[in-house]
Every structure is written in structure tokens, then in C-alpha cells.
Structure 1
Amino acid sequence: MVAYRSKVVERIELPARERRERALEEAGYNVFELPSEDVYIDLLTDSGTGAMSDAQWAALMRGDESYAGSRSFDELESAVAEVMGFSRVVPTHQGRGAENVLYGALLSDGDVVPNNTHFDTTRAHVANQGADPVDCPVAGARDPTADGEFKGNFSLERAREVVDDVGAERVPLVIQTITNNSAAGQPVSVENTRQVREFADRIDATFVIDACRFAENAAFVRRREDEFADYAIDEIAREQLRHADAVVMSGKKDGLANAGGFVATDDADLFERCKQRAILYEGFPTYGGMSGRDVAAMAVGLREAVEEGYVTDRLEEIQAFADLLEDAGVPVYTPPGGHAVYLDAGAALPHLDAADFPGQALVCELYREGGVRGVELGSFAFPDTDRPELVRLAVPRRTYHGEHFEHVADTAAAVLEKRESVSGLEVVSEPANPELRHFTAALAPLSD
């Protein structure tokens, strides 16, 4: 059942193929460099790209732009306490600002940080503090065809190996990302979160949950974890999050906003350390790099994210999109997650080796063929890791409709019909930071 009707529309246009060819070449075969007007269906990210509700637009008009003591911050603080269960909030301009504030307060040179799977900015922020980010996915997480209801879980077995190898004193922080973006948006069970809490206690580590998609994760928990079959989404969310010492949040995901993020905790000492660091990097503690109107919109969005109608529609939309792609013969990661459908580029372009960046090649062909922009999350985005060659088609919230998804499926099918002609790519220039090279690196087609 569709949960929304449109009040505002935006006209979009599929650029001519010649224009797409030229734009791709000028972008250095890196779709991050494409102008938005040259993109027809934009599935690059679900971060800050969704449509806000009428209630959020009303909140924008009521936003309090006071530098200090903003009423809008009081609204955010109240929403975080009600929805997520934390009493202290440090606002930031977006999720990576929250990562900088929290991980900068917790990490030192030589530390080791286990995570079920680090995403790009998380990995970069950990490395920026001189620490070593270590992925701890469960068996099957990196197999696009493996069965499993909670393939996003944190592997306690792998984490214990890390501690045995380096010593508990070098592991001051443990992170669990829900849902697990780098593992194809797969959910994490509450039971796994409880186990990670116990593990962190045993090694005297701070336990942080990256809660960017906490509401989508809670919806999966209710469907797949018997204990919570009769719970409301917000009840599940609070139960899962309460096991963390702190959460880091991008409000551009399950805050349903176009900007903003925060760190939330009940720990008074950690709160004070984060607040002081945020003043240096983000702004005064009652606006944190955001306008008051953005703070107000995120406060409303947090409450909307755990509403039954919204989150049910969200998961069903992603499942329907995955079904369209599978019906078109496109290999996808199964089961689909809650914010994106991930294509198995290794299976889609089997003639290309990992060194030829098959995921990035598929990304480029999707744009060339149908003006569709996705993002590679394989050997190009994560060099020197053993992650599968995936392409993420992230779905902005409350934005696209059935016809848009049909176009994407038709585009992907058309690419696969001529897959043997798809060339691999090579990097011709890249930044010094390998964790973030996919944002700005330039590539070129491999010569025959």
C-alpha cells in the first residue's frame, strides 16, 4: 500500500545518449563528478536526498535560528530521548561530523577498532586518528547468494581473534553499524547487539552503535526475530540502542532530513568531551553546524521514521525494486536490505577481474545506458580489502515511484545483454587518502 501522495513535483529529463557519453568522459568515469542535471534517476545515495513531509516543511518555517539556546535544539533533544532513549545530544552538520567528534574523543594512535563492517567515512575517521579499523562480518555476509536473516551481524569470533592478537588494551572502542551498509544494508539482530555489549564490557571498551538506519533495522528485527514480533518499531529501536554507550547518527538517513547528525549518550563525561570537541569543529552545542530550521526538521523526521506506515512502505519499496531487477535477470545481493538494492557486479560482468573494477565499470554502464547513477562498493571504493564487487542502488526516501524503478531494471537488463563489450577501468589519478579515493579519483577505460 502506498503511504503518500505528492504535493510538490520536480520535472526530470533523460539526457541524450551523446550528452551522457560526454558527461561520463568529462567526469573521469567517476559518477561523483557528474552534474546532477545530467542524471535521470539518482541512486548514488539515500543520504539527505529524500523528500521531506509536510510536517517537516512546517517545522522548517518554525525553526529557531538563535545561535545559543535554540528552541529547535530542545525539540531535537526531546525527539532523541523519546525515539532513541538517550538524554544527552551533541548536534553536528552531518554524520561524518558526528564521527569526527566521537571518534576523535575516543581514539588514539595505535588503537584497533572492530566493527561489523566499516563504511567509508567511518574507516577514514578511525584511520585519521591513527587507529586500525578491522571488519568483523559474520560468515555469509560477503556472499551475495548466501541465506541468512541477519547477515549484518557482528562476528564475536572474529573480534575475539582481534583482541587475542593485539591485546584488550589496544581495543578501546567497538562499533556496530545498523543496518550494515557495507554488507549490502543487511540487518543486525538485537541478540547480536546484546552479545557485543557483553564483549565490550569484558574488554573494558566503549560500545558505539552507528544508528544511521536504526528504524529500518528495527523493522527487520520485528519481522525476523521472534522475541520482538509483537513490539512496536520505536520499542524495538530503544531496546537495541540502549545497549550502547553512545550512538553516532546521520540525520540524513533515518532522520529523514536533508542535513544534520548528532552524537547521543547518557554518559556525562563522554558527553562533555564530545561537546567541547564539537565546539571546535562543528559549532555551538545547540546548533552544531546546522541551521535551526534543519534541526527542527530532523526532530520531526526522527519521529516519522519509526511510524508504522512509513517504515513498512520503505521496506516494501526496496523489496519490490529488488524483485524487478531479479525478474529482469540482474544478479542482486539477497535478501535485499532496507535502504538499497546491491547488484552483484562480479556475477554481472564475469569477464572482468577485480583489478579491472567490475563494479565501477557497471556503474558507468548504467549511467551510459539509462542515465542511472549508482555507486561502486567493491575493490575501487575499498582497496586492499576482500569485499565482494557490489554496486549499491540507494533509494532516496519518499522520492521515486514504480515507473522510475522499472526504468532502472530495464537499464540494467540492457547493460547485461551486451556485457561482453563492457571494458574494465584503471585509476589514472587518486587522492592520498585511500579510504576516500572513490569520491574524487579519475579513471579511464582499459585499452584493448
Structure 2
Amino acid sequence: MPLMEPYRIKVVEPIPVLTRAERTEAMQTAGYNPFNLSADRITIDLLSDSGTGALSAAQQAAGALGDETYAGARSYFRFHDAVAELTGFEHILPVHQGRAAERILFGAMLGPGRVCVSNTHFDTTRANVELSGATAVDLPSAAMKDLDSDDPFKGDIDLDALSAMLAGPEDVAVVVMTITNNGGAGQPVSMANLRATAELCRAHGVPLILDAARFAENAWLVIQREPGWSDRTPAEVARAAFDLADGAVCSLKKDAIVHMGGFLALRDRELATRCEAMLIATEGFRTYGGLAGRDLEMIAVGLREVVDPAYLRTRAAQTEYLAELIQAAGVSIVRPAGIHALYLNAGRLLRHLEPAQYPGHALACELFVAGGIRCAELGSLYLGVEDAEGRLVKPAPYELVRLAIPRRVYTQSHLEYVAEVIAGIAKDPESVPGQRIVSAPKLLRHFHCRTEPIS
């Protein structure tokens, strides 16, 4: 069946198209950091799928019903009912986005000497763990080491390593399973792995928390790839995943297709009470959590739209189509393709660059200069370790570039343009210069650093 979006476009926005000279000047001004670029310089923005989706007509209409009452607004109860229907959790707190839920939860559960274990912590999750004084430990599956294999669930956690850690001397306070595994190249987590993780956590008395920003996309990939689940709906699979957990943090800027919002949901009343106090002190009252009534209304609609099989089928097909075009141009990606993003193997494409020359970051910069495409590096700039003099002493295991695809925003022709730009770079990869760091903070440096090309 031909690729066709299951919607029609009612509102359009002009796309900036600059000359190469203008893009080069913009990148120089930004200190060769895509995060520093102004939106009016970008042709195709694949930096993030967070809060960048297009609202539906139904969401826009629901927003007009927003009740902005400070406490007990009608909009909160519609939000609460939608989240409860999806997750089954009893204690539900709205927050302005997922990282707020992480901060509140980790503030209540973690502290110096404690450990948070995950299939892979993403950048802000790791930062919130470390800001609490705790240690973040990643236990990705062994399958994740082979970027080229078509193992269907590379996002799984390493169960043997998890079992050993839970039985060991470390003070493991919580296990966080990210679905899909964003830091692990957007790969899904199987229900079998999630169930086994829940059993290990229960046996050791350690809470299991889902980072559920892409719960619907994970559910769709389970339906497509895991035996025994093909006859289930996305909503049913998502609910089965939530049923295995003790709680969830969720950025609704992804799989509720809204511009702002999130939730923290828990089963334990005492923990929820402590989190609620922190919510009120830092985010807002428990019935709005830093969100406007219109946001709560649009979330309630988006949570139901995102589990529509027609929507998920087409979104997955879009990503797979782009993956096929990129691979046809001779550029490797992490296989199999996920849904929310593709991960280019920059280390393989730019073989002439050492990890200390940040090939992932170099490729991300080149994609903008060559075609106005903004994206993000997931390599040694993000994950590498430097010594006191700023020398790279521990490179990342892989040099990747993430192309995050916003929901309901770009059409097939936009994706074909992206593939054409990548194909052009692949014809002469050695022309792409490496990068060196000019300045960078110690924490979350990839958001703030400035670099320059190496001659």
C-alpha cells in the first residue's frame, strides 16, 4: 500500500530556505552547535520530536474548552480520566514536562550513595539522577552492541546484569525502563523483557518506573515484532506495560502530540504524597502542575489519538521509508529502524575522523550547512569523558546522529529531501571536517558548548 498520511493539512507554515553561504554564516554564529541555531535559519528541523508535533483539529477545539480555574478545574478531571484510562495508576500528578516528573520523583527516591538503574538513561534523566547525588547506571542489552543486526528489541535491559546488580552491594533505589529506548537508538523494549524486569524488581523490593514518553510507539513495535501480541490494540499493549510497573514518568510532548505537558503516576500513596508536596512547591497545584487548562484538554484528546492504529502505522512507515532511502545512498543506520527517530552511523560514514574530532557532531553540523537540516549528535560530544585538560579519554561506544521526526509535520517529499542531502554528503565524506571544543560547561555540555572546525 502506498505511503499516505491519514490526515489532510488545514494550516501551513512557510519553511525558510537559505543559501549555503547563509547557512554557513548561521552555523558560525551558533558556534557550530545546532542547539544555538535560530528557527528562522532552519529548513527541516529534526532536532527533537518533543513538543514539535502538529495539533489536530480536535485538539485545537478541545483547547478552547480549557478551564483555567486554579484548583479543581474541569480540564484536570478530563486529563486525569484519560491518563487513568491509559495507565491504570491511581495517583496522577500533571507536570509541565517529563523532566519535571523526573526531578520530583528522584528528589523523593534518590540521594547520595543510591543508584538508579536503566536500560539507558537519556541526557536529562541522567542529569536529574546526578543532581540528586545518586549514580546512574546503564545496563543496555547485549544486542545493542551490534548496530547492524535486525534484533527486534535492542532497547531491552540486560537481565543478567540487572539481576547481579540487584543482588549486589549497591543501594539500588529504582529501576527506570525507557520505552522506547531513546538513548539506545530509539529501539523498543519487549513485553517479555519488561515482565522479567518487573519480576526481578519485585523479588528484590525495588520499584520499577517506566519512562513512558513513547509508550504508543513501543506498543506498536511490540504488536509488529513480538510473538503473542499481534492481535492486541496499541492501547491494550500500552496498558499491559503500565500494569507491570510501580509508576511512570512521561513527557506528553511526544506521544500525546502536544506542545507542553507531562505526568507522574504512582501506585504507592505515601510516595505520591511526598511527590505532591514537591509538585506544589515547584510546579503548581496538584490539579494543574504548571499547565494551562487548554494544555490539559489537548493532552486528553492526544492520548486517545496517539493509539489509533492508522496513525501509528503511517508514522512507522514514514520512518522506515526514510531509512530505506538513506541506506540506498550507502549510509548506515542503527537497524532495525525505530519510529520516532533514525540514528545515522557517523563513525562509519566519516571514517577519516577520530572520536576526539567528534564525527557525530561534525556530521550534524554538515547536515545543516549542506541542506538546512538540524539534528543532534549522540556520540562522544554527548557521552564521552574528558580529562582535566579537556582531552577525550573515553569516547562514546558509538558515534551517532539522531534524526528525530516530529509527529504529523513533514510529508514524504520532505523526507526525500533529507535523504538527498545525506546522499550528497556520502558522495564525498572526507570533505567533512572534524570539530574541536572551544568552550563547554561540565553538565549537559552538548546543549551549550561551542566548537569550531579543525582545518
Per the normalisation by structure 2, the TM-score is: 0.95
Give 2:318's aligned residue.
Answer: 317
Is the Cα contact below 8 Å between 1:172 and 1:204 reproduced in 2? no
Q: What is the alpha-carbon distance in structure 1 between the residues aligned to residue 21 and residue 353 of structure 2?
A: 25
Specify which of 72, 75, 81 is matched with residue 75 of structure 2. Answer: 72
Give 1:49's aligned residue.
Answer: 52
Are 1:329 and 2:330 matched, yes or no? yes
Aligned pairs, how many?
A: 443
Is the Cα contact below 8 Å between 1:188 and 1:217 reproduced in 2? yes
Give 1:260's aligned residue.
Answer: 261
CA apart distance, 1:165: 4.7
Higher alpha-carbon deviation: 254-263 or 424-433 = 424-433
Are 1:151 and 2:154 matched, yes or no? yes
Q: What is the alpha-carbon distance in structure 2 between the residues aligned to residue 386 and residue 199 of structure 1?
A: 29
Q: What is the alpha-carbon distance in structure 1 between the residues aligned to residue 313 and residue 267 of structure 2?
A: 30
Structure 1 SS opposite 2:381: coil
Q: How does 1:73-92 map to 2 (within 5 A)?
A: 73-92=76-95
Give 1:388's aligned residue.
Answer: 398
Give 2:437's aligned residue.
Answer: 427
Q: How does 1:383-422 map to 2 (within 5 A)?
A: 383-384=384-385, 386-422=396-432
Higher alpha-carbon deviation: 154-163 or 144-153 = 154-163
Q: How does 1:37-436 map to 2 (within 5 A)?
A: 37-167=40-170, 170-384=171-385, 386-433=396-443, 436=444
The letter for the 1-side match of 2:348 is A
Is the Cα contact below 8 Å between 2:180 and 2:217 reproduced in 1? yes
Q: What is the alpha-carbon distance in structure 1 between the residues aligned to residue 105 and residue 116 of structure 2?
A: 13
Higher alpha-carbon deviation: 191-200 or 157-166 = 157-166
Specify which of 421, 431, 449 is matched with residue 441 of structure 1. Answer: 449
Higher alpha-carbon deviation: 84-93 or 406-415 = 84-93
Is the Cα contact below 8 Å between 2:49 and 2:404 reproduced in 1? yes
The letter for the 2-side match of 1:125 is N
Q: What is the alpha-carbon distance in structure 2 between the residues aligned to residue 356 and residue 17 of structure 1?
A: 23
Q: Per-residue CA shift, 1:323-368, capped at 9, x if unaligned?
A: 1111222211110111011100011101111111100000000000
The letter for the 2-side match of 1:247 is A
CA apart distance, 1:198: 1.1
For structure 2, the 5+ residue unaligned runs are 386-394
Q: What is the alpha-carbon distance in structure 2 between the residues aligned to residue 166 and residue 380 of structure 1?
A: 32
Higher alpha-carbon deviation: 414-423 or 372-381 = 414-423
Is the Cα contact below 8 Å between 1:143 and 1:388 reproduced in 2? no
CA apart distance, 1:374: 0.7
Q: Per-residue CA shift, 1:280-318, capped at 9, x if unaligned?
A: 111111111111111111111111111111111111111
The letter for the 2-side match of 1:359 is G
The letter for the 1-side match of 2:303 is L
The letter for the 2-side match of 1:315 is A
Give 1:21's aligned residue.
Answer: 24
The letter for the 1-side match of 2:234 is I
Is the Cα contact below 8 Å between 1:115 and 1:136 reproduced in 2? yes
The letter for the 2-side match of 1:119 is F
Give 2:389's aligned residue.
Answer: none
CA apart distance, 1:164: 4.8
Is the Cα contact below 8 Å between 1:48 and 1:259 reproduced in 2? yes
Is the Cα contact below 8 Å between 2:27 and 2:33 reproduced in 1? yes
The letter for the 1-side match of 2:284 is G
For structure 1, the 5+ residue unaligned runs are none
Structure 2 SS opposite 1:114: strand
Q: Per-residue CA shift, 1:190-235, capped at 9, x if unaligned?
A: 1111111111112211110000000000001111111111111101
Q: What is the alpha-carbon distance in structure 1 between the residues aligned to residue 37 and residue 164 of structure 2?
A: 42
CA apart distance, 1:383: 2.1
Structure 2 SS opposite 1:62: coil
Q: Per-residue CA shift, 1:411-448, capped at 9, x if unaligned?
A: 11111212112111111111131xx111111111123x
Q: What is the alpha-carbon distance in structure 2 between the residues aligned to residue 206 and residue 437 of structure 1?
A: 31
Higher alpha-carbon deviation: 208-217 or 307-316 = 307-316
The letter for the 2-side match of 1:5 is R
Structure 1 SS opposite 2:255: coil
Q: What is the alpha-carbon distance in structure 2 between the residues aligned to residue 277 and residue 184 of structure 1?
A: 32
Q: What is the alpha-carbon distance in structure 1 between the residues aligned to residue 302 and residue 9 of structure 2?
A: 18
Give 2:38's aligned residue.
Answer: 35
Structure 1 SS opposite 2:92: strand
Is the Cα contact below 8 Å between 2:121 and 2:138 reproduced in 1? yes
Is the Cα contact below 8 Å between 2:329 and 2:426 reproduced in 1? no
Is the Cα contact below 8 Å between 1:23 and 1:34 reproduced in 2? yes
Is the Cα contact below 8 Å between 1:221 and 1:228 reproduced in 2? yes
CA apart distance, 1:394: 0.3
CA apart distance, 1:109: 0.8
Q: What is the alpha-carbon distance in structure 2 between the residues aligned to residue 142 and residue 275 of structure 1?
A: 40
The letter for the 2-side match of 1:357 is Y
Is the Cα contact below 8 Å between 1:77 and 1:88 reproduced in 2? no
Is the Cα contact below 8 Å between 2:167 and 2:204 reproduced in 1? no
Q: What is the alpha-carbon distance in structure 2 between the residues aligned to residue 422 and residue 386 of structure 1?
A: 20
Is the Cα contact below 8 Å between 1:77 and 1:87 reproduced in 2? no
Per the normalisation by structure 1, the TM-score is: 0.97
Q: What is the alpha-carbon distance in structure 2 between the residues aligned to residue 406 and residue 75 of structure 1?
A: 39
